[in-house]
Amino acid sequence: MTIIDSGDVTRVPKRDVPPSMVERMTLILDAFDGRASRLTLEEVAGRSRLPRSTVHRILHQLVQLNWVEHAAFGYCLGGRALGLGGGDGGRDEIRAAAAPLLHELHLQTGMVVHLTVLEGGDSLYLDKVGGRFAAQFPSRVGGRGPAYATAGGKSILALLSPETVESLYRRPMRGYTDRTITSLTALHVELNRIRQRNGLAFERGESARGVACAGAAVRGPDGPVAGVSLCGDQRTTRLERVAPLVLDAAREVSLSLYPDQEARPRRGGAGTSNISSHPMPVNRLVRA
């Protein structure tokens, strides 16, 4: 397995420090634009084109005010920034539980890792880990994508009842590539395949050309709460290698959030009861 160093910083000339504190804070927050969800101090300084000492001081204040979070592996947007679009709904807890596993997945594979939740019919990106390769993917933390066209989104939809899925897509489904699912009939067929694969979802160039992803849902006692996905270049990604890693990571996040869940009966949607907690051999999953 390849370990990718995420410390790739583009050197750009410094510019004059803006006199306004608000402008400096805005430049720093704008550095978290989706190219990577976690940045080192040097990366933030490089992207904002502000002096390192200025960035360090302002980041410290932003951390105290929950605009930014600081952990051993760098800085990321905090709950206040991510919550501007509405109530948090427990998303901070989900991100915190998933963060170590997302980074482990990236280190194991060198691929881009996403954590998403379902909001309406969209996948809302809570986290993205991928080092310098993250820039190759159009997703960004706080951004949205069509759940029906992404591996993480489809893994969540597969745990909902058909009626719930239909209520999410009453309007025409947009095609992003020639491989995007654009009808409810085709979507139901795809979701049934995912249920037969014990919750493992795939994307092969559906949301963007050349992208291959494997995803699995994080399950709560009352249904899916998030989706974890691994994404890479469709020409080189071997889904049979990453599928078990995604399934294990999603299960570990579930157990971290709901440690007594395995002792409870599941109360998810119509598709949930068809998904076993003991997956079949991965080579059969990938062929299914």
pLDDT category of residue 241 using cuts at 50, 70 and 90: confident
What's residue 53's pLDDT? 94
> What sections of the chain are H helices per DSSP?
21-30, 41-48, 52-64, 79-82, 91-109, 151-157, 162-168, 184-196, 239-257, 282-287
pLDDT at residue 88, rounded to an integer: 54
Give me the CATH code for the 21-83 domain, please.
1.10.10.10
Query: Tokens standing for 134?
Result: 């993250």
- What is the chain's length? 288
Yes or no: say if 231 and 213 are a contact pair by the CB < 8 Å rule.
Answer: yes
With a cut of 90, say whether residue 215 has pLDDT above it: yes
Strand partners, 202: 214
Contact 88, 82 (CB under 8 A): yes
Structure-model confidence comparison of residues 116 and 261, the more confident one:
116
Cβ distance 177 to 205 under 8 Å? yes
What is the average pLDDT score of the chain? 79
Let me know how many helices (H) and strands (E) the chain has, helices first: 10, 8
Per-residue tokens: 13: 């000339």
Domains of the chain, residue spans: 21-83, 91-257
Q: Which CATH number fits domain 91-257: 3.40.80.10, 3.30.450.40, 2.60.40.10, 3.40.50.300?
A: 3.30.450.40
For the chain, give percent helix, strand, coil, nearest 5.
45, 20, 40
pLDDT at site 114: 92
pLDDT band at residue 67, thresholds of 50, 70 and 90? confident
- Report field, pTM of the whole predicted structure over 0.85: no
Query: pLDDT tens for residues 5-64?
Result: 434 434 444 455 566 889 999 999 888 764 445 788 998 999 999 999 999 999 999 988
Query: What is the three-class DSSP state of 211?
Result: strand
> Is 267 a residue whose pLDDT tops 80?
no
Q: 75 forms bridges with which residues in the sheet?
A: 39, 70
pLDDT at 217 > cutoff 80: yes
